[in-house]
Amino acid sequence: MKKKILIADDEPTNRIILHRMLSCYGDCDVVVDGTEVIDAFVMALEENTPYDLICLDIMMPIMTGCEALKKIREIEHSMAINPVDRVSVIMITAVDKTNELIELTEDSCASYMMKPINKSTLIQRITDIGLLS
């Protein structure tokens, strides 16, 4: 079955790149900041068509990717969503803050990768998560 993917990045070029890389793996929605991530995430849950994967840029205005990730996990917790059914998240960052990222991603069960976005790394991450066989 086709995956449902949410792409979040404030830079238009990165949104285009991610969309091109991922559109063959699923239906991709694209948003530009953390609040839009939450809106899209909640809407999908309410429509009973949750996302399989969120690619989340960390540096975004209004609400950062880190804040959005925390909020997503809070919402899933408040809705008593089974941990195995939580959405898979790949955090994407331009700056190397590996230690902080490892802590954040371990806490929130997310994966991460560095920019520039590299297709084989991205596909490897998605495979590691178990979304591609």
* Residues forming the site for Mg ion (CB under 5 A): 10, 57, 59
Composition of the chain by helix, strand, coil, percent to 5: 45, 20, 30
Q: Which of 67, 18, 80 is nearest to 38 (CA)?
A: 67
- Shortest distance (Å) from residue 131 CB to Mg ion: 23
Would you state the structure tokens that stand for residue 75, as one six-digit string? 């919402």
Alpha helices in the chain, H assignment, sequence order: 12-22, 34-46, 65-78, 98-108, 119-129
Shorter beta-carbon distance to Mg ion: residue 10 or 27: 10
Which single residue brings its beta carbon nearest to Mg ion? Answer: 59
- Shortest distance (Å) from residue 4 CB to Mg ion: 22
Shorter beta-carbon distance to Mg ion: residue 52 or 57: 57
Shorter beta-carbon distance to Mg ion: residue 44 or 59: 59
- Shortest distance (Å) from residue 60 CB to Mg ion: 5
